Structure 1
Amino acid sequence: MYFFVDTIVDTQKSGIEHAIIRRLELFKMHNKDAKIITTNYHRTVYASLTTDGLNNDVINLFDYYQKVADVPFTPATLDTLVLPEHALLKKSVNHQYQVVLNHKVIMQITTFADTQKQIDLIRYLDDEGKTIYIDYYDIRGFLSKRDHYDTNNDWLTVEQWLDVTGQPVIENYHQINFDNKVDVTVYRLRGKDNVWYTFDGVQGYMRHFFDELNLAYNGHNAFIFDRASETAWASTHMVTPNYPIGHFHNSHVTDTDDIMHSSLNGFFTFMIKNQDHFHYMISATDTQTKDVLARWPKMRAITIPVSYVSDAQLANQVDFAKREKHTLIVAARLAPEKQQIDVVKAMVQVRKQVPDARAEFWGYPNGDYGDQVKKAIKEAHLEDVISLKGYSSTVNQEMDRVGLSVLSSRMEGFSLSILEAQSHGLPQVVNNVKYGPSDLVIDGQDGFLVENNNIDMLAAKIIAIMSDEQLQTTLSANAYTDARRYSAENVWRQWQVVTDDYENNYLK
């Protein structure tokens, strides 16, 4: 079995989640048993997994110990809630209800926003209106978690995750530290043998989960750790025999202009310092693999792209005459490292040369950067020119409509956005940064590489494409051709280095 280890696969997915899902498709295509492993608690993720058709492909740490993976969807609603005798249920504000007994509010109920009567959480109150405990319901309908509070000091004392019978299976105990802040001090987990185990950190019970899962699937399984920072300690401290693989999903250093001496990207520090533990360390591009080996010659570093282009997509080529030639797309989360504000600045120049030019930003915001982008658009008076479309799982369909793609990142690991745009025949203007753009975009053939933060150069290349229909059409045709480098067959051939070693050497 191949396990792809992540934290969560939610509705709004980062590039890592998209890469894992594409890998799962590829492994299934070649009849390899594979599952996605997630470690974070999330009460509503079942809905997005259902939408994505992944319910049978994901094993979550909390679901595993709560034994709820196969629980049917049976929403807990206000209509099925049993209230104390003589208690009254009253609506207070949107999605908020109160349970009143003897003129006192004894319970406060919140319902899920999209289903007014489905219970999200219930807060239980004492006679003075202080919180005793809060019950959290999974979107599937069962009581999933209970938080206990100290009513004298109003702080969280114990978190309990419950099985379907209401018995605790995971517990976190809290106390006040010297800075008068609440800290988790003890983590407890009831293992598959019904014995309670105690840990001093989340990595401890994560490691225990990996080991139990490994044994449940007959041991000696392959684990590909995609979230290096979150799972680093657990991945290197498993006690059952396994085949661990590390993955660089971004630059391994903070300064790509000084790869030999730069400090390490914190996400990968532990993995790099324990590189001998891993059978392979995967980079998504040859450029990064070469840089990794230049600094650590003994590392078992190999290149495997994080996605592929399906045969169906390779065969689906849109007539460029039907496109909105002067509309560009930026498909990336709104984040400082993606630098969408540079595109806003470039669009000021573009509009002077191409008056009908427009831009669409597709992606969810990280932190307050979305607000910064909105402010930049307003200050540039481009509110009617640049549209913030938000996150969409079908943004690839928009790529068949627009005329070019732009990516202004200061750092990448591969860039699924570039490959997706290329496979949809979009000419591209992308920053020539490590890693990904120069491995994917062939400068002058299917798009243009520009200097990072060079707004004039960025604008000039966008104008060049929009102003020359023949150039735009030629770049598009070449993009379709160049995308074939990342066909499913070609990418799987690179994966076979790992699968052959695991199956033919390690297992035998």
Structure 2
Amino acid sequence: MNFYFCNIDFGKKLSGVERSSMKRSVLFNKYLNIDPIFLSTNLNLEIIENWEHYKKINWISDYTLHFNLYYELLDLKRAVDYKKSLFCIGDDDILVRVNELHDRVYDSNRKMKMYIVWRDKERSIINYINYFFNGRKIKRDKFNLFGQICISQILNENQEVVFEDLLKPDGRLKIRKIYEKNKIKEIYFFNDTGILSKMFKDESDLIYYWLTKIAKKNDFFIIDKNRVWSKPLSMVKRNLDIKIISVLHSVHVRDSSNVSSSSLNSNYSRILKEDDVVDACICLTLGQKEDIYNRFSNSKYKLYNIAHPNDISIHKVNFSTRDKNKIVTLARLSSEKQLDHMIMAMKKVVEIFPEKKLFIYGEGKERDYLSKLILENELEENIFLPGYVEDIHTILKSSILYLSTSKVEGFPLSFIESLSQGVAIISYDIKYGPNELIKDGINGYLVENGNIELMAEKIIQFFDKKDEDILFFSQNSYDLVGEINMNNIAEKWKIMLKDYGVNYG
């Protein structure tokens, strides 16, 4: 019996979903004596390097296994055994070094033919090459960490991929994807002799094929990314007795103010409406479990309330070492986080407390918009966007207050981490999570969703307090989050797994 954690990718910057999955793997190993295996599906040529990094910083154990769809199908783990792909230019071509990692190749008429990006300053391993014809990019080749060409894409006049060849380290074609308007139309799968052996209509079918090579009877598959995994796993389940457990990391409806009849979040629609997809759903909060039960009470799958495990050992920080002016948030810079609300609230705060500073840690597509908003409101001395960070514990230990203006959440991992470091929280009162972690007036404040004025008032009210009153909030933060410890969450997982035949004695 194997336990698989099903994700999409493990990039250089992790979201809360990936981080919570890693924390769960530590819990399974230390408290359940289970060594889970991670599965991922994105074709990320750095994913193994990233995985080793997360081992190095102790976010996962050294012996936790990870299998990636394309690394396995393309046999990239054997890339070290093969020579690098050769790189050469024509006799009349002109090579120009742009900087320490970038080169350009021009023809004799000074028209660019290639744009080359290297992985290292020594120019020993190519990252990718873009090819040009008459000023238009027509082709892109990407190379693996050992220098062999792995992906070759042909682009149309709109710079859209028309077809994509995926190569094994020895240069043999393994997979060809045909695209139409940026969507996969067909996937051709070749055997080791170069003969077309299978055809798939989309990546979901390719994942299903891979799963048929992996899955065994009684295996458990715990899904963190339902959009990708629910369909191929349910196809496997039709022919094999496996258990599928879905973790709901966000709100399951599009309109959280109307959970009883609002249309469903597309990531969860299939698993909630159809009885044959999953065996159980893990809700991170009791409130979400109750809402789903009330709406889908006749469903065959079981519902469990199991929060993210808190793997942080609570060591109380000397309150005098905190920066009394430092406010923080950890968030993806995207619209659902409503970080513009936070900026506008801070505009009112600094009118009363000009020394207060807000640090918004994270990256995302709204960086330019938020930077512009900060400048327009002349807040560049009070609000900062330092980017993505890994060492969040050091940041939190030096902070005094955490803010959240999200319009929806699941069960914010960042809240658990903040409270574990004795940092009080002021958050919009949304579904789900804040009202199960924040006791209003005890370890923070809950604010009506979208009420920027009230958010500003609560921040000002917090800083109007004496140090001993702010210390009271900090001490309560430690105490209230203590219930979400690894041991207590492990007991909940034991109860759930026992329901499916996993015996702990």
Match of 2:439 among 442, 452, 456: 442
Q: 2:396 — aligned with what?
A: 399
- How far the C-alpha of 1:326 sits from its partner, in A, is 2.1
Q: What residue is the counterpart of 1:227 in the other structure? A: 225
Query: What corresponds to 2:11 in structure 1?
Result: 10
Residue type of the alignment partner of 1:170: I
Partner of 1:62: 70
C-alpha deviation, 1:98, in angstroms: 4.7
Q: Partner amino acid for 1:57?
A: L
Q: Is the 8 A contact 1:349 1:459 kept in 2?
A: yes
Q: CA deviation at 1:63?
A: 0.2
Q: Kindly tell me: are residues 21 and 140 of structure 1, through their superposed partners in 2, closer, same or farther at Cα, counting changes over 3 Å?
A: farther
Give the structure 1 partner of residue 201 of structure 2. Answer: 200
Identity %: 23
| Structure-2 separation of matches of 1:442 and 1:402 | 19
Aligned CA RMSD, in angstroms, stands at: 3.0
The number of aligned residues is 488
Deviation at 1:284, TM superposition (A): 0.5
CA contact (8 A) 1:75 1:139 kept: no
Corresponding residue for 1:482? 480
Q: Which among 90, 95, 110 is matched to residue 90 of structure 1?
A: 95
Q: Secondary structure of the equivalent of 1:324?
A: coil
Cross-structure match for 1:178: none
Equivalent of 1:378 in 372, 375, 378: 375
More displaced stretch, 205-214 vs 470-479: 205-214
> 1:422: how far off?
0.4
Q: Which residue identity does 2:147 align to in structure 1? A: G
Determine if contact 2:234/2:277 at 8 Å carries over to the other structure.
yes
Distance in 1 separating the partners of 2:137 and 2:377? 49
User: SS in structure 2 opposite 1:434?
Assistant: coil
Partner Cα distance (1:75, 1:332) in 2:
42
Q: Which moved more, 1:156-165 or 1:130-139?
A: 130-139
1:231 positional shift: 2.4
Counterparts of 1:106 and 1:412, CA distance in 2: 47
Once the 2 structures are TM-superposed, how far is the Cα of residue 351 of structure 1 from its aligned partner? 1.6
Q: 1:346 to 1:92 in 2, by over 3 A?
A: same
Partner of 1:336: 335
> What per-residue deviation string (whole Å, max 9, x for no partner) do you get for residues 329-355 of structure 1?
011111111111111111122123223
Determine the C-alpha separation between the residues in 1 that align with 2:451 and 2:87: 64
Instruction: Look up the equivalent residue of 1:145 and give its one-letter code.
Output: I
After TM superposition, the structure 1 = structure 2 runs for residues 94-493 of structure 1, keeping only pairs within 5 Å, are 94=99, 95-98=101-104, 108-112=114-118, 115=121, 117=123, 118-123=125-130, 134-148=140-154, 156-174=161-179, 181=181, 184-190=184-190, 196-214=197-215, 218-238=216-236, 239-299=239-299, 300-310=302-312, 313-314=313-314, 316-365=315-364, 367=365, 369-468=366-465, 469-493=467-491
Seen in structure 2, the aligned counterparts of structure 1 residues 325 and 191 have a Cα distance that, compared at 3 Å, is farther
Give unpaired runs (5+ residues) of structure 1.
Answer: 176-180
What is the Cα deviation at residue 241 of structure 1? 3.0
For residues 483 and 93 of structure 1, do their structure 2 counterparts lie closer, same or farther at Cα, with a shift above 3 Å needed? same
Deviation of 1:146 (Å): 2.0
Partners of 2:83 and 2:319 in 1: how far apart? 48
Deviates more, 1:103-112 or 1:489-498: 103-112
Q: 1:337 to 1:114 in 2, by over 3 A?
A: farther
Q: 2:36 maps to what in 1?
A: 34
1:477, CA displacement in angstroms? 0.5
Matched to 2:476, the amino acid is: N
The TM-score, its normalising length taken from structure 1, stands at: 0.87
Following superposition, the deviation at residue 458 of structure 1 comes to 1.2
Give the Cα–Cα distance (whole angstroms) in 2 for the partners of residues 90 and 107 of structure 1. 10
Query: Distance between the aligned counterparts of 2:287 and 2:198, measured in 1?
Result: 44
Listed one character per residue, the Cα deviations across residues 213-249 of structure 1 (whole Å, up to 9, x for unaligned) are: 21xxx44311112111222322221243321111211
Q: Are the counterparts in 2 of residues 222 and 502 from structure 1 also a CA contact under 8 Å? A: no
Q: Is the 8 A contact 1:74 1:141 kept in 2?
A: no
Cα deviation for residue 137 of structure 1 reads 0.1
Structure 2 SS opposite 1:97: strand
